[in-house]
Amino acid sequence: MHIEADKQRAQAFARDACAWLAQRNVPPTPENFELAYNFVGGEHPELKRTVESLIANGCKFDSSVMTILHQRYFRAPKGDDMIAELGEKITAELDSVLQILESAGADHSAYGEALSQASGQLGQARLGDTGLKALIDGVITATRVMEQRSKTLEGQLQTSSHEVNELRDRLESVRKESLTDQLTGIPNRKAFDNEFQESVERAIETGEPLSLIMCDIDLFKAFNDTWGHQTGDQVLRLVANCLSENVKGRDTAARYGGEEFVVILPQTELAGAVNLANQIRAKVESKKLVKKSTGDILGIITISCGVTQYDPNESAEEFVHRADECMYTAKRAGRNRVISEAQMAALTKTTVAA
């Protein structure tokens, strides 16, 4: 009877999950169904609270949002091979520590038993000199064995503790390296993707503003072709430093790819993001590119920026695409400028009117 009730309950959850997906025009892929099933079943409280908050804020459950939710609650992102290997080594070392402690517990138990037996023998009857000496010798021997075992245990635990700390430091170092652009030293595309997904999700849940700046170095190919890749690398580092110097706190600046950079601005409206973009643009323009070997000034670097604010009714991909469109509008308008979505809309109206 109990099995039949569970079966009917599961079937009801499955029907409700399919209906929930269909109502929001979400394809019933295995991942989407798993998420919907657990939501309607109510057996995943944290997931239920998050989804209910998204619904209350009018969230559009597109593929991007569904992917973010599934990765957060059902599938931990796969790390690099090195991170996975270090994780396995730490697990093995911790298992070794547990075995050491388990063995030590058995040794302490045996020692306690020996002392208990000696105490019992002393309390039962008078012992002759020979019996008393043998009893004392036995206690001394057991104590020495326990003392030696304790020293061995201490050494083993110190070694294991050192190994675990070393592995932990290596793991943190590898993790940071995997999220850092090796040329410029700022967060890379992988770090951007991770932070961007979390920022979009927070914006949907809280209703707080979220803005994005897309930057592209003007005429970068010309620098590479004229002065070589080493100079091009110098240009990339210069722009990255300007971003790092002007982005603080909760904001994230990253190298998006090639000569493109991006800045994520949580809790920031469009006007504030435009001001920051202009500040970064002016900072880059104020720098002079100098050839290290000769000291010759090679020119001035400029960037074009596109700025947008997140709309809860759009997907994360659409959000990035709008920022990208604004950036290319800035390039077409003459480069070395910032174009926001509001300005692009005004430009579009002017073009249509003309």
Query: Is there a contact between 138 and 118 (Cβ–Cβ < 8 Å)?
Result: yes
Q: What is the rounded distance in angstroms from the CA atom of residue 194 to the CA atom of residue 199?
A: 9
Q: Give the dihedral sign, CA 172/237/248/305.
A: negative
Of the CA atoms within 13 Å of residue 38, those in its CB half-sphere come to 17
For residues 72 and 74, give the distance between their C-alpha atoms in angstroms, rounded to a whole number.
Answer: 6
Q: In the predicted model, is pLDDT for residue 274 greater than 90?
A: yes
∠ at Cα 288 (287, 289), nearest 5°? Answer: 120
CATH 3.90.340.10 is held by the domain 189-353: no
Residue type, 350: T
Contact 174, 82 (CB under 8 A): yes
Residue 284 scores a pLDDT above 50? yes
Radius of gyration of the chain measured on its C-alpha atoms: 32
pTM here is 0.59
Of the options 3.40.50, 1.10.357, 1.10.287, 3.30.70, the CATH number for the domain spanning 83-178: 1.10.287
b/e string for 34-69 if b means 16 or more Cβ within 10 A?
ebbbbbbbeebeebeebbeebeeeebbbbebbbbbb
Residue 353 pLDDT greater than 90, yes or no? no
pLDDT for res 351? 47
Give the span between the Cα atoms of 146 and 104, in whole angstroms. Answer: 9
At residue 269's C-alpha, the angle toward residues 268 and 271, to 5°, is 120
In the prediction, which pLDDT does 330 show? Answer: 94
Report pLDDT for 325.
Answer: 94
Of these ranges, 92-101, 214-223, 226-235, the one predicted with the greatest mean pLDDT is 214-223
14 membership: H or E segment, kind and range = helix 2-23
CB 203 within 8 A of CB 209: yes
- Closest by CA to 105, choosing from 49, 75, 146, 46, is 146
| Structural contact between residues 260 and 215, judged by C-beta atoms closer than 8 angstroms | yes
Greatest mean pLDDT range, 80-89, 210-219, 227-236: 210-219
Residue 198 catalytic? Answer: no
So where are the chain's domains?
2-73, 83-178, 189-353
Q: Choose the catalytic residue: 195, 259, 260, 341.
A: 259
Mean pLDDT over all residues of the chain? Answer: 79
Take residue 150 and report the two structure tokens written for it.
Answer: 């304790």
pLDDT score, position 97: 56
3-class DSSP assignment, residue 78: coil
- The residues, ordered by sequence, that sit 6+ positions from 296 with a Cβ below 8 Å of its Cβ are 290
218 to each of 68, 125, 170, 335, how far by Cα in Å? 33, 99, 38, 7
For residue 126, is pLDDT > 60? no
Number of CB atoms found within 10 A of residue 220's CB: 18
Nearest alpha-carbon partner for 238 in 219, 259, 257, 256: 259
Q: What is the pLDDT of residues 13-60, one digit of tens each?
A: 888 989 999 998 888 888 888 889 999 888 787 788 888 878 877 777
| DSSP code for 334 | T
